[in-house]
Amino acid sequence: MNRRSLSFTLAFSFAGGLLVLFVVLPLASTLLSTTPADFLYSLGDSELLHSIGLTFGAALIATLLAMATGGPLAYLLARRKFRGKHLLEAVVNLPVVVPHTAAGMALLLVFGGRGLLGQELSSLGVTFTDNLGGIVLAMLFVSLPFLVNLSREAFAQTDEELERIALTDGATPWQAFWRVTLPQAWRGVLGGAVMMWGRGISEFGAVVILAYNPKIVSVLLYERYEEFGLRAAEPVALLLILVALAVFILLRLALLPENEP
C-alpha cells in the first residue's frame, strides 16, 4: 500500500472509529456500571420478569401478524409493476420517520375508545387501550417497515425464471411460491422478522400513548428511572441492551450464506 492509500485509509478509519466509539461507549458504560449482584437480583424481580414475557410475547405476535400480511405485500412490491407502487412503498415506510409518540396518538384516534374504529369495536367488547392488543398494535405499526423492506429485497433477489418453469410444469402459483420462491428468500424474510421483533421489543413512544399498562420493559425502565433514579433503572437498561445484542446476532446468523464460515 502506497503512502496516499495509507493516509486515505487511516483518515477514513479514524472517522469511522469515532462513530463506533460513540455507539460503544454508552453501552459499555451501562454494562460496567451495573454490578452482577444488581443484575442477578433484577432477574428475580417478578414485575420485571412479567414485563419481559409481555414484551417478548407482544413483539412476537406483532411479527407474526406482519409476516402474514407484510410478506405477501413484500412479494407484490418485488415482483409486480402497478400504478401507485412507489406511493405504496412510501406509505409502508412512513412509520420510520413519524415520531413514535405521534404514531401512538394516531393509533389512539383510530383504535381508542372514542376513535374512528374504536367506538364500534368497543360495542363488540374489543378494546385496544391499556391491554395486550394495544401493545401489539403499537409495535406492529412502528416496526413493520423492517419486515416488509427486507422481505421485498429477498424476493427481488430470487430467480424468477425458476418460478416460471414451475408454473409451466403445472404448479399452481401457491405451489410455486411455497416450493420455489420462499425457499430462496427465506433468509431475508427471517432476517426481516428478527429485525422487526427486536424493534418491537425496544418500542416506547407509541406503546406508552396507546397502552401504558400493562407495562412492557421500556415503559418499566422509564417508570423506575422517574421514581427511583438511575441506579434502579440500570439493570433494566442492561437487560434491554443484552437483548438487542442477541437480536443482531440472530439477524447475522439468519442472513449468513450457507457457504460462508
What is the helix, strand, coil percentage profile of the chain, to 5?
Answer: 80, 0, 20
pLDDT band, residue 261 (cuts 50/70/90) = very low
Q: pLDDT tens digits, residue range 233-243? A: 888 888 888 87
* Range(s) of the domain holding residue 10: 1-33
Residue 261 domain flag: no
Section 228-249 average pLDDT: 82
State the CATH number of the domain containing residue 66: 1.10.3720.10
pLDDT for the residue 152? 95
Residues 159 and 204 in one domain: yes
Q: pLDDT tens digits, residue range 74-129? A: 999 999 899 999 999 999 999 999 999 999 999 999 998 888 898 888 888 889 98
Residues 137 and 214 in one domain: yes
Residues 168 and 237 in one domain: yes
CB 139 within 8 A of CB 245: no
pLDDT for the residue 3? 77
Q: Based on the number of CB atoms within 10 Å of its own CB, is 122 exposed (0-12), middle (13-18) or buried (19 or more)?
A: middle
Question: What is the DSSP-derived secondary structure letter of residue 204?
Answer: -
- Which candidate, 144, 126, 142, places its Cα nearest to that of 77? 144
Q: Based on the number of CB atoms within 10 Å of its own CB, is 148 exposed (0-12), middle (13-18) or buried (19 or more)?
A: buried
pLDDT band, residue 44 (cuts 50/70/90) = confident
- Which candidate, 191, 197, 209, places its Cα nearest to that of 62? 197
Of 152-156, 214-218, 243-247, least confident by mean pLDDT is 243-247
